[in-house]
Structure 1
Amino acid sequence: MIRRKMILYLLALLIVLFLPGSGSAPAAQLTINENNSGETLTLYPGDIMELTLESNPSTGYAWQGDLNIAGVLEVIEHGFKSRGVLPGAPGEEYWLLKAAGPGSGSLSLEYSRSWEEDNDPVNRFAAVISVLEPVPQVSGGETPGREAGVPVFIDGVELDFPDQKAFIEDGRTWVPLRTIAEALGWQVQWDPGSGTATVLKGNREVRLQAGSALLDVDGRPRELAGGSQVRNQRIVVPLRDFCGILAVYSVAWDPGTGAVLIESGALEQLVAGLTLEEKVGQMLMPDFRTWNGEDVVACNDEISRLIREYHVGGVILFRENVTGTEQTVQLVDQLQKAAGAIPLFIAIDQEGGRVVRLQTGTVMPGNMALGAARSPENTYKLAKAIGKELNVLGINVNFAPVLDVNNNPDNPVIGIRSFGSDPQLVAEMGTAYIKGLHDAGVAAAAKHFPGHGDTSVDSHLGLPSIPHDLERLEAVELVPFREAVKQGVDMIMTAHVTFPAIDSTQAVSRLDGTPVFLPATLSEKVLTELVRNKLGFNGVIVTDSLKMKAIEDHFGPGEAVVRAVKAGADIVLMPGDLEESMQALLGEIRAGRISEARVDASVKRILGLKLKMGLLSEQGPASGEPGAGPEARLKAAQALVGCAEHLALEREAAEKAVTLLKNDGMILPFRLKDGDRVVLFAPWSDRLELMEEALGRIVQDAKIKDVKVDGFVYENLAALNEQQKKALFAADYIVLGSYSYDLESRVPGRHWLPGFALDTLAQAEEAGKPVAVLAIRNPYDIAYMPGAKAFLAVYGAAEGPNIPAGIRTIFGIVKPAGKLPVSIPDAGGGKNLYECGYGLEYPE
């Protein structure tokens, strides 16, 4: 209870004072030591940083390594400070380092004896340095951003300027004094008689007369560089200089977003107040799909105990957990109550299309359909609608979008989950998707880094490998992730895929004792060197599920979690065994093989995101949002989830995606008339039901009489049976729903799906009957049936708006407008039958 009260107190301090200053050194002088090992440190040009590490040269040990980073960081002084008067006394080795210019890199030191090359060092220090660009100089009296305002973020939360915006002038960012001071936890008093503002916090006092450059700081005179001004009846001050007087931890300029980033030091205080177990718990995100063989639709006592006992930072929900709107709201509320002082991330995979967890609400057509429609505006709208439905249910993290570039037609796990095979298209659609989720108040996770699109193995079932080197990754796979980082994506999810050209480190598989390359999820070269250092990502790195075969087969639960954290992961998703994972991490930390500073860096990122999203707020947001009570949220959810507006978006997006690849003889669209007979073929009953329902509505709306519809499921049939042949010979129109999910399912003679499709086309050709092929899932089906006269792709699955959109297109209700988001090779893979961007239209 005492621990809970202390955490609540720290949270209250964080929110009520809205991120108060920590009292640490001003931005221009940063002191770090061994406790900062594993952290990412942000500086800007001109900053001086002092590093001190315990040392005793008389023992022969010394810190080895070069701390200079060309053009970024330079050592300006290096020495030793003894703590005793006698020769040989221990002390501290120190370095003064100066930030030279924008860029990033790694600091790495090892404490060892130079002549003992074969022995492991007794200690290590490592940190990532990121030097951001300074506020740009402005000439000619211009004031860019004066009307719109310069964005200012405090610990990741954007500051609201109600009247006078922040602006740039004379190379400085100016802000209203009252706004910035109160946001940093200071009180502001105004004396209209003397025109003096007094800024107070604790025993500190800063006095400033409007328009003056002279301040009284704690009873001592001091000059404010740049002075102060009066704009719109508000005192405005230069942000960086004023924050230095208030002893704010860090102020930096982000050239990518054109924003000012302030770190107040409050998160450090909150992290320091947690126990080691609480810190490690924040890094764990388990699932509770089933309990004793039953789907978990409510939080039972045992689950509540596990959440409290292991201090977990989040829970991921699956389809089994979210059966209805009311049930989901209640489950989320129960989980959050079990969490205690620090709210949970409640996460889900609600990508749209083939990967949808909610059993109520809108489905949306999926990423490849969005890529075919090629409209960032539509993608934004759909993602925002998805986010709004999640938000109102209390789900605050969506593990989406998929940013894998699907350039391998044989990929069994990504496929239509990707926006396409063009890296720029994927980047454009992906960033629009991220913005949509953000504007709905939901965190986004770009996945699966550094790319799962060029594999032919499903990492749920095995360990895929990609041979490409960094140059190739930079040109293709990393393009969308770079853009996502610029967009401010909250999380990056790792891929369980090996990249031997990037990291050739091997481990011994527990499956059969053979050596295996480390997958990206467990690779320091990928997560730290590539994600953190090269891409400059400072958000949360989350692993893909550690229960997937790519990890589970080769590494034990404890080993996988430890390797992931050492590699640089902040959150381990679905650890195989919660208790074993927790104990394994605690053991490594207590043994010194993982520094507590490394854990602190992850926890700071996790809590920083929770703060940014408003999860740490004492007062919940407006009704219907995550902080509201379950009754208010339920009422709002029932009005929003699956609402008419979202269903209209869903339908419109699916229709814009339909792609016409062939229309020989202009046989499409089919024109129904009274008495026509239509035959529909689908591989499974759920797909057939969607086809029949869509056609039935067309007939009903057009008031066509006596239309005969025969629907057939051809599951496990490699050719037409007699009943199906009879119906085909009597038909006026035939719609063949084709389907494939991997290479095997597109090879005639090896799978029943292509066998049935080819037989149907042959029988229809012999009978002179028109057939429209509707590729339900993958557009690659046309590779094995190039002779089809009419072929459309809808990029769908078993549910959602894709199949109905295809039927409405075939029968002329809507016109095909989509363009291929992937290239389609021929069956032999020698050349492309259709290039990315191809798509036909109906004749006028």
Structure 2
Amino acid sequence: MRQLRRPLIALTTALATVATTAVTANAQTGTENGYVTQAVVNSVLHRMSLPEKVGQLFMTYGYGPAANTVDPRNQTEFGVDTPAQVVQRYHLGGFIYFAWSDNIANPGQIAKLSNGLQQAALTSGAHVPLLISTDQEQGLVTRIGAPATTLPGSMALGASRDTGAARQAAAITGRELRAMGVNMDNAPDSDVNVNPANPIIGIRSFGSDPELVSDMVSAQVHGYQDSGPAFRTVSATAKHFPGHGDAATDSHTGLPVIDHDKATWEQVDAPPFRAAIASGVDVIMTAHIVFPKLDTSGDPSTLSPTVLTGMLRNELGYQGMVITDSLQMAGVRQKYSDAEIPVKALQAGADMLLMPQHVGTAIEGVLNAVRTGELSEQRIDQSVRRILTVKYRRGVLFQPFTDISAVDRVVGSKDNKAAAQRITDNTVTVLRNDDKLLPLKSKPKSVLVTGWGQTATATLANAVTARGSKATALTVGAAPTPAAISAAVQAAGANDAVVVLTNGAYKDPGQQDLVRQLVATGKPVIAVCVGNPYDPGSVPQARTWIDTYSSTAVSMESLTKVIFGEHGPRGLLPVSIPGPDGYAYGAGLTW
């Protein structure tokens, strides 16, 4: 096999010019030459050994800001010293970035890390470039912050009802990621959040209406994948199949059980994934959840042939790449060993295995399954072909490196940030304005900005001060104590107006009491929910309620514009707020 390496590399190189031309043409025409794709993929696959092919099935992380950073955590978890050596030792097909693994400091550093990891992949093992991913959903889940362009997230976009804005948001995010060498985004979230108690999805979803979520998912898939030549775009990942929107348990810490029957699943959960598939999504991510009325095995969907092969591939007709959610999560590790889990996932229909608890154990488990006949090499080839096809479609196979000199021009550009602000300006939802407090008729001399979020309150206070009112930020936290509430009430008495930020007040009595006591001061109070949008139904005493669905800087700027009358509210509630003081789906005041 090794003696054939150079001739096979020469063959692949000979195909590169044709393939690169085809990739560019595909992006421009919206079509794909299946024959060229198959020829390129087969030429790469056929020169790989079994361990190299199995390595392509895995995506994991490594510790350090540079490919050659020596970090003792790499030795502890992977038996090597550097991120590059993690790639080389295990012949990885993919690498994922996190702040906690010290991969994310600034755009230039990320781009250099990406190039270093691609070089490691190309100079060892299968000589196949990496899929490099991160979770850049925007809003609540934003791995790469400023100076990259930040946006308010999915539910805020759902409130705008603007699919063009959703597509543009994804295009901006995708182009900036690709400039940093990230060629796959684990977004958009395609869950329909019908459960207000959902502890893990919430504002990561576009809303509770399947049609709205479907339209937004479709727009974002096109934004990520079709906004330019393929080698400048990223693969979109629709997640979490078969639908995480009605979960009441966090699958990071437990195994959620969703009681939807087939008819409910077809009506509520399936439409966004159908839309993603129809839009040509490159990747679909699985969920570690149980639907007992759809699959009686008791296994999480990630390990269920009924779900991944029967429902996703056979019923929905999806033949693209399937990636698991992290295999370190509790929801997938309750029944099987770390060596069995990847085998079960492949048998179910998954292709790429994300973040196994012990990557060496996981890889050896798959290799042993092939040796014993539990998995066939043909089944491995099937998944590797899907992975290589994604790499080909995004131009990764032949253009894996990013231009370091272009990073600062692309990431966080003036045009991108201006577009992000315009998009966000249309997401703010005013649910209640009983006293006609908004927009402010005259600028108050002093404003107290209090409530949840040290960064959010400070950012909003700065934005208010920039309008000519002296604003003071006083953070009381997510579960304010009586002493903290008393301090905020006292500060309110010394100001002309109050803006109070909430996040999770619908489940925290302290936040509810804070709002009630501020209202009781008689000062003008503007209550603003910056997280899951259900807080306005919990404190009816506040006569002015706004939902922003986000505490990002762009959202705080858009909120300030609405408060001061610089921009009218345009957002409509993308979920319903239950209860006697709740609000209907689609609620929202405009002026």
More helix by share: 2
**Residue 539 of structure 1 contacts residue 605 of structure 1 at CA under 8 Å; is this kept in 2?**
yes
Read off the aligned partner of 1:469 and give its amino acid letter: D
| Counterpart Cα distance in 1 of 2:215 and 2:492 | 44
Q: Mapping of 1:696-775 within 5 angstroms?
A: 696-699=465-468, 707-715=469-477, 716-719=479-482, 721-740=485-504, 746-747=506-507, 749=509, 752-761=510-519, 763-764=520-521, 768-775=522-529
Q: Are residue 492 (structure 1) and residue 241 (structure 2) matched?
A: no
| Counterpart Cα distance in 1 of 2:84 and 2:63 | 14
Aligned to 1:349: 135
| Counterpart Cα distance in 2 of 1:160 and 1:653 | 25
Measured at CA, do residues 727 and 429 of structure 1 come closer, stay the same or move farther in structure 2, by a change above 3 Å? same
| Counterpart Cα distance in 1 of 2:60 and 2:556 | 35
3-state SS of the aligned residue for 2:557? Answer: helix
**Superposed CA offset, 1:177-228 (max 9, x none):** xxxxxxxxxxxxxxxxxxxxxxxxxxxxxxxxxxxxxxxxxxxxxxxxxxxx
3-state SS of the aligned residue for 2:553? Answer: coil
**Residue 516 of structure 2 contacts residue 541 of structure 2 at CA under 8 Å; is this kept in 1?**
no
| Counterpart Cα distance in 1 of 2:426 and 2:156 | 8
Could you list the runs of 5+ residues in structure 2 that have no partner in the other structure? 65-70
Q: Are residue 819 (structure 1) and residue 572 (structure 2) matched?
A: yes
More strand by share: 1
Aligned to 2:109: 327
Pairwise CA distance, 1:493: 0.3
Question: Where has structure 1 moved over 3 Å in runs of 4 or more?
Answer: 1-4, 16-19, 156-161, 257-265, 293-296, 552-555, 671-674, 718-723
Q: Mapping of 1:306-325 within 5 angstroms?
A: 306-319=86-99, 320-325=102-107
3-state SS of the aligned residue for 1:476? Answer: helix
| Counterpart Cα distance in 1 of 2:73 and 2:27 | 49
Q: Mapping of 1:275-314 within 5 angstroms?
A: 275-289=49-63, 291-292=71-72, 302-314=82-94
3-state SS of the aligned residue for 1:594? Answer: coil
Read off the aligned partner of 1:393 and give its amino acid letter: M
Choose from 512, 523, 537 the match for 1:783: 537
Count of residues in correspondence between the two structures: 566
| Counterpart Cα distance in 1 of 2:527 and 2:486 | 21
Measured at CA, do residues 383 and 731 of structure 1 come closer, stay the same or move farther in structure 2, by a change above 3 Å? same
Q: Are residue 421 (structure 1) and residue 179 (structure 2) matched?
A: no
**Superposed CA offset, 1:291-338 (max 9, x none):** 435999xxx954322312221101011123121122111100110011
3-state SS of the aligned residue for 2:109? Answer: helix
Measured at CA, do residues 10 and 282 of structure 1 come closer, stay the same or move farther in structure 2, by a change above 3 Å? farther
Pairwise CA distance, 1:260: 7.7
Read off the aligned partner of 2:218 and give its amino acid letter: T
**Residue 194 of structure 2 contacts residue 208 of structure 2 at CA under 8 Å; is this kept in 1?**
yes
Measured at CA, do residues 694 and 604 of structure 1 come closer, stay the same or move farther in structure 2, by a change above 3 Å? same
| Counterpart Cα distance in 1 of 2:31 and 2:132 | 31
**Residue 688 of structure 1 contacts residue 711 of structure 1 at CA under 8 Å; is this kept in 2?**
yes
Could you list the runs of 5+ residues in structure 1 that have no partner in the other structure? 20-152, 166-256, 506-516, 621-625, 700-706
Name the % identity.
35
Read off the aligned partner of 1:836 and give its amino acid letter: Y
| Counterpart Cα distance in 1 of 2:135 and 2:9 | 31
Pairwise CA distance, 1:708: 3.8
**Superposed CA offset, 1:503-540 (max 9, x none):** 111xxxxxxxxxxx211111111111111111111110
- Which has the higher relative contact order, 1 or 2, with Cα contacts under 8 A spaced 6 or more apart? 2
Read off the aligned partner of 1:709 and give its amino acid letter: A
3-state SS of the aligned residue for 1:333? Answer: helix
Q: Are residue 9 (structure 1) and residue 7 (structure 2) matched?
A: no
3-state SS of the aligned residue for 1:678? Answer: strand
Choose from 238, 241, 247 the match for 1:449: 241
Aligned to 2:589: 840
Aligned to 2:406: 636
Pairwise CA distance, 1:18: 4.4
Measured at CA, do residues 301 and 785 of structure 1 come closer, stay the same or move farther in structure 2, by a change above 3 Å? same
| Counterpart Cα distance in 1 of 2:405 and 2:420 | 23
Measured at CA, do residues 6 and 567 of structure 1 come closer, stay the same or move farther in structure 2, by a change above 3 Å? farther
| Counterpart Cα distance in 2 of 1:349 and 1:688 | 25
Measured at CA, do residues 759 and 559 of structure 1 come closer, stay the same or move farther in structure 2, by a change above 3 Å? farther
Measured at CA, do residues 265 and 492 of structure 1 come closer, stay the same or move farther in structure 2, by a change above 3 Å? closer
Choose from 397, 402, 410 the match for 2:184: 397
**Residue 45 of structure 2 contacts residue 381 of structure 2 at CA under 8 Å; is this kept in 1?**
yes
| Counterpart Cα distance in 2 of 1:159 and 1:580 | 39
Q: Mapping of 1:181-330 within 5 angstroms?
A: 261-262=34-35, 265-266=38-39, 267-289=41-63, 291-292=71-72, 302-319=82-99, 320-330=102-112
Q: Mapping of 1:465-614 within 5 angstroms?
A: 465-505=257-297, 517-614=298-395
Aligned to 1:406: 193
Measured at CA, do residues 748 and 541 of structure 1 come closer, stay the same or move farther in structure 2, by a change above 3 Å? closer
Pairwise CA distance, 1:807: 2.4
Pairwise CA distance, 1:726: 2.8
**Superposed CA offset, 1:418-452 (max 9, x none):** 11111111111111111111125111110000101
Q: Are residue 800 (structure 1) and residue 549 (structure 2) matched?
A: no
| Counterpart Cα distance in 1 of 2:187 and 2:349 | 20
**Superposed CA offset, 1:122-160 (max 9, x none):** xxxxxxxxxxxxxxxxxxxxxxxxxxxxxxx98x88559
| Counterpart Cα distance in 1 of 2:27 and 2:308 | 34
3-state SS of the aligned residue for 1:389? Answer: helix
3-state SS of the aligned residue for 2:277? Answer: helix
3-state SS of the aligned residue for 2:420? Answer: helix
Read off the aligned partner of 2:489 and give its amino acid letter: K
| Counterpart Cα distance in 1 of 2:18 and 2:383 | 24
Q: Mapping of 1:429-444 within 5 angstroms?
A: 429-438=216-225, 439-440=227-228, 441-444=233-236
3-state SS of the aligned residue for 2:137? Answer: coil
Q: Are residue 677 (structure 1) and residue 446 (structure 2) matched?
A: yes
3-state SS of the aligned residue for 1:734? Answer: strand
| Counterpart Cα distance in 2 of 1:634 and 1:263 | 30
| Counterpart Cα distance in 1 of 2:208 and 2:273 | 14
| Counterpart Cα distance in 1 of 2:31 and 2:392 | 22
Q: Mapping of 1:44-63 within 5 angstroms?
A: none
**Residue 316 of structure 1 contacts residue 348 of structure 1 at CA under 8 Å; is this kept in 2?**
yes
| Counterpart Cα distance in 1 of 2:200 and 2:408 | 33
| Counterpart Cα distance in 2 of 1:294 and 1:812 | 53
| Counterpart Cα distance in 2 of 1:814 and 1:640 | 28
Measured at CA, do residues 324 and 814 of structure 1 come closer, stay the same or move farther in structure 2, by a change above 3 Å? same
| Counterpart Cα distance in 2 of 1:775 and 1:160 | 41
**TM-score, normalised to structure 1's length?**
0.64
3-state SS of the aligned residue for 1:477? Answer: helix
Measured at CA, do residues 448 and 497 of structure 1 come closer, stay the same or move farther in structure 2, by a change above 3 Å? same
Measured at CA, do residues 754 and 4 of structure 1 come closer, stay the same or move farther in structure 2, by a change above 3 Å? farther
**Superposed CA offset, 1:445-504 (max 9, x none):** 100001011111111111111011221111110001001101000000001111111111
**Residue 74 of structure 2 contacts residue 83 of structure 2 at CA under 8 Å; is this kept in 1?**
no
| Counterpart Cα distance in 2 of 1:760 and 1:4 | 72
Pairwise CA distance, 1:381: 1.0
Read off the aligned partner of 1:418 and give its amino acid letter: S
| Counterpart Cα distance in 2 of 1:485 and 1:394 | 25
Read off the aligned partner of 1:315 and give its amino acid letter: F
Read off the aligned partner of 2:493 and give its amino acid letter: F
Measured at CA, do residues 285 and 294 of structure 1 come closer, stay the same or move farther in structure 2, by a change above 3 Å? closer
Read off the aligned partner of 1:575 and give its amino acid letter: P
Read off the aligned partner of 1:692 and give its amino acid letter: A
| Counterpart Cα distance in 1 of 2:461 and 2:74 | 34
Choose from 663, 666, 670 the match for 2:436: 666
**Residue 62 of structure 2 contacts residue 86 of structure 2 at CA under 8 Å; is this kept in 1?**
no
**Superposed CA offset, 1:703-736 (max 9, x none):** xxxx443321112424455443332223321111
Aligned to 1:615: 396
Aligned to 1:44: none
**Superposed CA offset, 1:808-840 (max 9, x none):** 2122222111101111111xxxx6822211110
**TM-score, normalised to structure 2's length?**
0.90
